[in-house]
A and B are shown apart, each in its own frame.
Chain A
Amino acid sequence: MDIPYTVEPRPDTGIYNAKVGIWLFLASEVMLFGGLFSAYVLLRVGADPGTWPHGWQNMTLGTINTIVLAISAITTLMAWVSCKVGQFGKFRFFHACTLLLGLTFLGIKSVEYYQHLNHYEIKLSDGRIADGDMVSNDSAQDYVVIHGRYVTSEMDLYDLRAQKNIPDDEIKIPRSQISSMEDYGPWHNDYLALYFTMTGLHALHICAGCLVIGFLWGPGSKMWKTDPERFTNRIEVSGLFWHFVDLVWIFLFPVLYLT
């Protein structure tokens, strides 16, 4: 006996099987990211006063990425609509747009990661702290060069919102004066740990979405010829996933960038 309601909706629930499945899956995803967001709340509330970082992100890139994902949400929707009205060519175009926008997002994200990992906090033996982007860190030379500034206390580095206009200088620091040096990776503090973990998990979801969208754009689109209705449903279901991933970003952006 065949399994019913794989394509046509069940009369009393009004939806087909896969749609129930994806909504349940998304409910589970909400709890997954919910776990991380609650970790964020607990760690932020529990942080020592004045030590939670502000203004550590590249707002330009973050805003561009937000817009990129917002547009991709529209193109996903258009791809599904194109399938609904039977315009396969348009579908291919819009789905390619979504895929490219997804990849653009990942590209910009990796630039942001690079910027964090190239940003160093260098503690000097005289108690001062140098903070800035690494320019030269050649182990053959007995000095490092950063593009940044000196501060007297770590407390000066946490809230950078009001300090955007302080000029950065090229600073040359002899290695003999360095007591410790650390980049702004996830090991640096809880904020960056959360930033890398949450955006990393989100980026993994973008990767998964790109794989699915790529499959449905390429080899998977053969189904359009044999079973267009079921194919349209597949686009809808994958689109729901993509919208969810966009939505997670809409929460990540204010929580990690805007505050």
Chain B
Amino acid sequence: MKEKAQVSERFREFKAELTSRPSIVLGMGLRGFLRLLSLKNPWTIALVALIWLWTLGFYVLLSTGDYPCENLFGDDSSEDFKRCQPLVYYNDLGLGGVRLFLVTLAAISSSGLIANDMTDKSIHLYLSRPISRLDYLIARFIPVVYINQWGEAGLEFDWIKNHKWLLLDILILGSFYSASYSIIGLTFSTAINRESWAAGAFFLFVYGSAIIVEIFYLMIGDDRVLLLSIIHLLDIIGFFIFDTQPFFTAAFGFEGIDIADIEVFGVFILIIGSCGIFVNWMISQMEANK
């Protein structure tokens, strides 16, 4: 009895030492990242491994000297050649597979995070904790960015070794792609409460819009049409990061892109801003309602 009474007294006196909000958010993010990397998510791990293997394969291919940028700029454009090189890893020229995997990775990793919280309604419990709505969104954003960065880290292997002068650009581009696809992925995760549907819709949106836009581009011939496709929009900004001439691969070869900076960044801010506002609004509705 005495022992029981002592336990109850300790229970009664309990007052938890609580850490700061940034620590809570970072902790939530890290735990989310570790869950994505756990064996419960074999597809995530498999995709990261696939991206690394794919990159390694191209690293071996490049060492033979058979490099696609030569076809693009010719042998005498050595500076353009160097700047083009990292971009083709991410983008087209037959290397679309890497981006395909990255988009798939973003779709898989982001789709469940908010969707699952909304489906089982545990989002109400998270939002009743000492964190704001924005804190919650950041905490859910961190794991997706981390996992995508891990995937893209494979791409950085070659540049750390052979092209140090472009390392900063590579890192910025990796973060940019990770963050952008993660925000869009989380938007789908919020809008569609079912994980698999959200992943599928995100994937279709990214690639579907790219295909439609390319068809329209061939019909209309206006470069600005490309801004309506997330893939092309992010790629164009990617070229800005590397300070090189934007291009994309249409059906019959390479096409240069000529669009004003303000139009590109305006559309980008509009899309990402809309995603942020939409997610925030959806969660505020969940807060207020059952």
A binds B: no
- Where the two chains meet, the residues of A that have a C-beta atom closer than 8 Å to any C-beta of B are none
- Where the two chains meet, the residues of B that have a C-beta atom closer than 8 Å to any C-beta of A are none
